Amino acid sequence: MTMRSFGIYDIIERNAALAGRQTALVCGDARISFEEFLNKTRRLASALSQRGIAKGDRIAILAHNCHDFFYLFGAAAALGAVVAAINWRLSDDEIRYILSDSSPKLLAADGNHAHRVKELAVPLVAGIGNCKEYPSLESLMASADAAFSKPDVGADDPFCIIYTAAVAGKPRGAVLTHGNMIAANIQTAATMGLSDKDVCLNNLPLFHITGLNLAFAVMHVGGKNVVIEKFDEKQCLELTQSEKVSVMGSFPPILSRLTAEANAKSYDLSSLRIVLGIDGPDNIIPFEEKTNAKFWILYGQSETSGLVTFSPASEKSGSAGKIGLLTKVKIVNDKDIEVPLGESGEIVVQGPLVFQGYLNQNETNAYTFRNGWHHTGDWGVLDKDGYLWFKGRKPEKELIKPGGENVYPAEVEEVILQHSDIADVSVIGVPDPQFGEGIKAVCVLKPGKTLTEKALIEFVADRIARYKKPRYVAFADSLPKTSTGSTDREKVKQLYGK
């Protein structure tokens, strides 16, 4: 036992000791107290330990949101195991790669995705939520008592792996430690003024770092998490009214859909005080006027445990928020030299929220962490008050964010070039009224070939996650090139980016 022997499981024990009868989780008809949460976590940890899962082993989750997520995270934390929560919107090939990269001993899947599991080589499979094909977590808990041998787990031990968008065709697993998550909890709770009176609606996926950050920050301070399977505007507002939700997350088009539903039907939304995410003033202002809640704008990455900068959007309109309490940020030029305030450059970050590194990516880690700073690959500007102004991605790390997801153009281009009729392609992000940003493919056909927009979109959708398929397609005789012969993406944007 050391001074740094404090992890996520210790928070669960603390809450059970101090507020055992208070509700920790609500999911459908289930209402789980902190005392029951701890008991189920212990039983699951015992059952998993009996099946050979130990410190350092990995557990994968392929499921929509449900309260079993929290039991798995809790049991893994108790054992020192590491959870890889997988984006269920990914294609089977992408999921297969993630499982190969992370090598989990256990895969927990719900009924929506059980059919995808049969061909995946995982030693142990458990069913969660509505899954009937595999032994359930509940049956595992029932088969064990609450006694297990708890290893020494502390701040520097890995807690979870969040797979980020593929830069060069393959997703990368960002390893976050117990210390990372606890620092994120503290920074979020302190800045937003969270307490045990707060209620968080888990309307963002729990495989997404923002959804995870909000849920665990509220849990850390003894608040309540209300879990829904996936976003539905009517259910969100009904639960906000009935459960007195005070905190939730939002990425386009969530805010506009919530506002439309709130305008169509009368809801008591007086409890809602914070919505955290990304959106524009055209959606933020009507929502704030309708609900009296504050929309908090953010900048962050999976690699930074969520939040680097965040604050109410109204404080400095157009900014990405203010530097977090436990975060250091500076802006550097292409020689990694810090630039003066007000000048543009790459955003680099230090602090206890910065991840441990990418799984199985030693060379990438060395480059990412050069000079002792995490290099985000994003361009930005800092002002004298500590607010960040996001300016986009570095050209070699171009990123498109449809509805809050991360998509690298190169991974979409790689799929499009597999089509026998395509000679060349450039994928760019364009403004989209529904999702904030949309994916547009500018294609050059081979001589004599014809292809429809619909056929190309369907071709891509069959091969990678559907949210990565182009929403827009344009055909061109040729693409502008740089002096080295590569596609000039900036000129493509100028020509086709509207």
Q: What is the DSSP string of 219-272?
A: HHTT-EEEE-SS--HHHHHHHHHHHT--EEEE-TTHHHHHHHHHHHS----TT-
User: What pLDDT, on the 0 to 100 scale, is given for residue 259?
Assistant: 97
At 128-173, the pLDDT tens digits run 988 888 989 999 999 899 888 899 999 999 999 999 876 666 889 9
* Domain match, 198 and 83 both: yes
Q: Does the residue 348 lie in any domain?
A: no
Domain end, chosen from 262, 295, 328, is at 295
Per the listing, tokens 């809640």 go with 293
* Domain match, 228 and 100 both: yes
Q: Report CA 173 to chain centroid distance, whole Å.
A: 12
User: What pLDDT, on the 0 to 100 scale, is given for residue 397?
Assistant: 65
Q: Does the residue 66 lie in any domain?
A: yes
User: What pLDDT, on the 0 to 100 scale, is given for residue 399?
Assistant: 79
Number of compact structural domains in the chain: 2
User: What pLDDT, on the 0 to 100 scale, is given for residue 3?
Assistant: 46
* Domain match, 272 and 404 both: no
Dihedrals φ, ψ of 374, to 5°? Answer: -80, 120
* Domain match, 258 and 407 both: no
Q: How many CA atoms lie within 13 A of 451 on its CB side?
A: 25
Q: Give the span between the Cα atoms of 444 and 476, in whole angstroms.
A: 5
Q: 452 burial class (0-12, 13-18, 19+ CB within 10 angstroms)?
A: exposed
User: What pLDDT, on the 0 to 100 scale, is given for residue 4?
Assistant: 66
Q: What is the DSSP secondary structure assignment for residue 487, as one 8-state letter?
A: B
Q: Does the residue 196 lie in any domain?
A: yes
* Domain match, 127 and 259 both: yes
CATH number of the structural domain spanning residue 187: 3.40.50.12780
User: What pLDDT, on the 0 to 100 scale, is given for residue 300?
Assistant: 96
CATH number of the structural domain spanning residue 424: 3.30.300.30
Q: Sheet holding 436-445: strands in order across?
A: 422-432, 436-445, 472-475
Contact by Cβ (8 Å): 368, 356: no
Contact by Cβ (8 Å): 274, 192: yes
Low-confidence ranges of the chain (pLDDT < 70): 1-4, 166-169, 395-397, 483-484
Range of the domain at 452: 399-496
Q: Does the residue 62 lie in any domain?
A: yes
User: What pLDDT, on the 0 to 100 scale, is given for residue 167?
Assistant: 62
Q: Give the span between the Cα atoms of 125 and 63, in whole angstroms.
A: 13
Q: What is the pTM of this model?
A: 0.87
Contact by Cβ (8 Å): 259, 287: yes
Q: Does the residue 308 lie in any domain?
A: no
Q: Does the residue 213 lie in any domain?
A: yes
Q: Does the residue 247 lie in any domain?
A: yes
User: What pLDDT, on the 0 to 100 scale, is given for residue 438?
Assistant: 93
Q: What is the DSSP secondary structure assignment for residue 323, as one 8-state letter?
A: B
Q: Does the residue 306 lie in any domain?
A: no
Domain end, chosen from 270, 295, 320, is at 295
Domain end, chosen from 268, 295, 322, is at 295
* Domain match, 103 and 223 both: yes
